[in-house]
Chain A
Amino acid sequence: MEKTILEVEDLVTTFKTAGGEVSAVRGISFSLKKGETLCIVGESGCGKSITALSIMGLLAANAKSRGNVHFNGKNLLELKQDEMRKIRGNDISMIFQEPMTALNPTFTIGFQLCEPLLIHRNLSKKAARQKGIDLLKQVGIPMPEKRMKQYPHELSGGMRQRVMIAIALACSPKLLIADEPTTALDVTIQAQILDLLNDLKEEFETSVIMITHDMGVVAEVADRVIVMYAGEVIEEGSVEELFNDPQHPYTRGLLASVPNVDDPEFKLNPIPGTLPNLNEEIRGCRFHPRCPFAMEKCVQASPVQTNRKQNHSVRCWLQEAEADEYSKCQPSSAV
């Protein structure tokens, strides 16, 4: 787990709309090591899916990305369409939220599964078919020979998601991006899929970026977590740090909004208000209108990133206030 395989620097993604330019992602940076699972958490509209699509180069025509996305020594944002096409589905692949909309209803499972193998690996049709059957076995689909000839509508939701995973893994990618892979599934099926992803990750040493809003899923799969709010990263840390010592009021609010199944006395403590619109200009910290601890400073200036520990950083003025208080408590003689 030492080699960095993906490095995102100051990624900004904007959309041209009738109402002017709208920023969905506002300068985020992170890196991912080999074999690591990074979870991006946030509510809908915070820019987590757009971040993934920007990395994949799958944005709509009215969108534009700036910044750097270094993968394998190349800046993905500067690649031409056909160069990117060689990477997509080969070195980087993606699992989407809705397996029904992501699979093509007019082609068989076998066709869609063999497609990346025929394109990227130059396998013969026969070899691709054999590899496809192996993949289906690997993701735990019974009777793979029969499934190869079936169409997506003949499979259940969990089964379709397994097919999606099989397609994504076909060319043994170095990086797998999973956009809410279990949100549309029932808990029992979700548990099966999470187990499967974990097993496969260990087997192939794939790095995974998992996008989700479910804190339970995060605790289960993540090594490191990024919390996004309104297009910005507001907290980043190892999964232990983030759950045991959350710092940003938004992260704490997220954790207090999900009823705990094991604790009957759990008190819900929701975050007031709703997410701002993308085109809403907010001065200072973008969370301050909803923050219970907002101060004068939060309205005036955007907070800087504070590194609490080696593997935990936060963007919140409270961090500084705390540090100030701390230094006040300890007279200069201590220094």
Chain B
Amino acid sequence: MDNRAAGNRGAGATLPIVPAIVTDSLTRTFGLVTALSQLTVEMPTGVVGLVGANGAGKSTLIKILLGLLPPTSGRAQILGMDCRTDGLQIRQLVGYMPESDCLPPDVSATEFVVHLARMSGLPSAVARERTADTLRHVGLYEERYRPIGGYSTGMKQRVKLAQALVHDPKLVLLDEPTNGLDPAGRDEMLGLIQRIGSEFSISVVVTSHLLGELERIADHIVVIEGGVLQRSTSTADATQLSGVVLVEVTDQAAEIIARLRAAGAQVADAGGSQSFTVELSDETVLDAVQRAVADLGVGLIRMQRRRHHLTEFFQPEQEAADAQQ
């Protein structure tokens, strides 16, 4: 039907320098409650994970980004459009999947998504065609003709995702899409979100209160707590810059620890008899480990990067790189 996809979107995807979302001292208060406080952050295109506990300000940020809630002060931009003034244009090119239940039980998924596609401004024929396509992509087949009331939680989440994608947005805001799903459903949903970012070339901002699940799929992680930015890093940066290295040797671990401490490194016992962790303040620490091991002539079993703040997360390439060192 159209073949702009590979050309335009592909080119867009290779220019991650242009941030999808920019906020500048964004503040929003509700009476005495401060939902967002001086939030200044840039989110790139691709899959961005927005992490925070319940009440951290994630949903408030999403409503501001959709142009539905004016910020108390500060500025927010999405896809280069101002959230304070360009609400209508933003909502034409952005999809939103709410956290809460939002599906009427007495209509079928097809009818409901067709209706919402028209509500996004698509002509009727296009709305029907894209609804069939989109429901297939999120994994709803024959059941899409049955009333939504009889769907499982997993199927309902898929319908909610489909309505956010049906109008082919440039960016989707997914609010807690894995809420209420069992572990298998969670994995499927996360896989689907990853595909939206890679195969569909649609930028994604996905929120969760679980850091672990977003680390697996996000290119970039933003953590907010109590409306305040805690950190904003690409997941690749996180593995490079922060964390500690787990070192395991064949013999004389105590001697190596002593030498490293003498060189000023922060070393902690890792529990095993011949292993320890060393804080990776800079690259010279790695050299120091290497030198100590070489001098003593013991075998180095492994050096593995661990990270401080992000929970267990090992990218295969990163692990391979570590193993080579």
**Bound pair: A and B?**
no
- State the A residues within 8 Å of B (CB): none
- State the B residues within 8 Å of A (CB): none
